[in-house]
C-alpha cells in the first residue's frame, strides 16, 4: 500500500516516512521545504516538491496512493500570533485542498497530525478527548478547525479519518541514512535547548513560580518513534464515515527541572540555567489521558523521558561532528 506523507521533510514526518518504508509500505512525500530539510528526506520514497496550496501538485502527489498521513503545516505558536493568516491559509486552506483532491481521486483514508494546543488552558488534568477545546492561539485554532473539517467530511463524503492530538513530541530516530531529529531555527523546544545549554548560553527556565511541586511547568513528553507507531496503527483502524480524535502522550507529566535532571544523567554534568520570566500563554500543567489510544488503537508508549533525552543528545552530537 502506498501512503502519502505530507510534511515528510520535517522532523516528525521524516520519521514516519522512514519507518513506513522499513515496514514495507510504499511512500510518497509532499513537502514545499519551507521548514523541512532535504537531508531528512527518506531514501526510497517518491518526493514531490510542492505546496498543499497547489491543487494540481497535490493531485499528482496522490497518484497511486491509498492513504494519507497529513503532517504538512505550520506549527509555531509565536509565529501564529504574529501572522495568523499564514496558519489559516496553510493549515486550514491547505487541508481543504488536500481533502478536495482526495475526494476527486477516490482516496478515503487520512490520519491527521493534530495537537494538544486545540484544548488551550485545561480546566482539569489529565486532558481527555472530551475536554473543552478553547485554543489560546491561532496555531491551535487552525488545527481545531481542521478537526471539525474532518468530522464533516467523514459524515458527508464517507471519509475515514483519525486526528491524533500530540502532547510534547521528543526524541530522535537513527535511520540507516543518519539521525532524524529536531532542527528548528530558532529552537524553542525544551529538550534540545536543555542539551544545547552552556555556561555562556544557559537554559532559560520560563518561570520558577508555578503552582507545581518544584515550581516549574509540567508537560507530557512522548517519543517520536512511539508516536509514529500510533500513526501506523491508526491506518488500520480507519473506517469510512467515521472521524476519531485520539490523544497521544505518555500519560505522565515531567517538570522542566525533571527534564534537566534526565539531561544531566545523559550528558554527565549539571545543566547551566537561569530563571527567566514566564513565557506568554504557557499553562502550568499539560498531561494527556491516553486511555483512548490504548483501547482504540491498542497502543502504549514504550520509551521514557530518559530515552527521549538520550536519543536527542546522541543525534545532536552526531550532527555537530
Q: Which residue is nearest to ligand UDP (CB)?
A: 217
Q: Where are the alpha helices (DSSP H) in the chain?
A: 11-22, 55-61, 77-82, 84-87, 94-105, 138-157, 190-196, 224-235, 256-267, 291-292, 305-320
Instruction: Say whether residue 204 binds ligand UDP (CB under 6 A).
Output: yes
φ/ψ of residue 298, rounded to 5: 75, 30
Strand partners, 111: 69, 162
Q: Which stretch binds ligand UDP (CB under 6 A): 62-70, 122-130, 131-139, 185-193?
A: 185-193
> CB neighbours (10 Å) of residue 144?
22
CB of 59 to ligand UDP, least distance (A): 34
Instruction: Candidates 37, 46, 189, 237: give the one binding ligand UDP (CB under 6 A).
Output: 189
Instruction: Candidates 3, 67, 69, 205: give the one binding ligand UDP (CB under 6 A).
Output: 205
CB of 120 to ligand UDP, least distance (A): 12
CB of 191 to ligand UDP, least distance (A): 7
- DSSP string covering 261-316: HHHHHHHSSPPPEEEEPPPTT--SB--B--HHIIIII-------HHHHHHHHHHHH
Cα 274 to Cα 283: distance, rounded to the nearest angstrom: 20
CB of 305 to ligand UDP, least distance (A): 12
Site string for ligand UDP, 214-253 (x = CB under 6 A): ---x-x----------------------------------
Binding site for ligand UDP (CB under 6 A): 168, 188-190, 193, 203-206, 217, 219, 256, 279, 282
Amino acid at each position: 500500500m502506498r501512503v502519502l506523507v505530507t510534511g515528510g521533510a520535517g522532523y516528525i514526518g521524516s520519521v514516519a516516512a522512514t519507518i513506513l518504508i522499513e515496514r514495507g509500505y510504499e511512500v510518497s512525500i509532499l513537502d514545499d521545504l519551507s521548514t523541512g530539510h532535504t537531508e531528512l528526506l527518506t531514501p526510497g520514497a517518491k518526493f514531490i516538491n510542492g505546496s498543499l496550496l497547489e491543487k494540481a501538485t497535490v493531485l499528482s502527489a496522490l497518484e497511486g496512493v491509498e492513504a494519507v498521513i497529513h503532517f504538512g503545516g505550520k506549527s509555531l505558536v509565536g509565529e501564529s500570533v504574529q501572522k495568523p493568516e499564514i496558519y489559516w491559509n496553510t493549515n486550514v486552506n491547505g487541508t481543504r485542498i488536500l481533502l478536495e483532491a482526495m475526494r476527486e481521486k477516490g482516496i478515503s483514508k487520512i490520519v491527521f497530525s493534530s495537537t494538544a494546543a486545540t484544548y488551550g488552558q485545561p480546566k482539569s488534568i489529565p486532558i481527555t478527548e472530551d475536554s473543552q477545546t478553547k485554543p489560546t492561539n491561532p496555531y491551535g485554532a487552525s488545527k481545531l478547525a481542521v478537526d471539525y473539517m474532518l468530522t464533516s467530511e467523514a459524515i458527508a463524503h464517507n471519509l475515514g479519518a483519525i486526528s491524533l492530538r500530540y502532547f510534547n513530541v521528543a526524541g530522535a530516530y537513527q535511520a540507516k541514512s543518519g539521525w532524524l531529529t529536531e532542527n528548528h531555527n530558532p529552537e524553542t523546544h525544551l529538550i534540545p535547548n536543555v542539551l544545547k545549554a552552556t555556561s555562556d548560553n544557559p537554559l532559560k527556565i520560563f518561570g520558577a513560580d508555578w503552582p507545581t511541586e518544584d515550581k516549574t511547568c509540567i508537560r507530557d513528553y512522548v517519543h517520536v518513534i512511539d508516536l509514529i507507531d500510533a500513526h501506523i496503527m491508526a491506518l488500520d483502524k480507519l473506517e469510512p464515515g467515521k472521524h476519531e480524535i485520539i490523544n497521544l502522550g505518555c500519560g505522565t507529566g515531567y517538570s522542566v527541572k525533571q527534564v534537566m535532571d534526565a539531561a544531566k544523567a545523559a550528558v554527565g554534568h549539571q545543566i547551566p540555567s537561569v530563571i527567566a520570566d514566564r513565557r506568554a500563554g504557557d499553562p502550568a500543567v499539560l498531561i494527556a489521558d491516553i486511555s483512548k489510544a490504548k483501547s482504540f488503537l491498542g497502543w502504549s508508549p514504550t520509551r521514557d523521558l530518559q530515552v527521549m533525552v538520550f536519543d536527542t543528545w546522541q543525534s545532536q552530537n552526531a550532527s555537530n561532528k
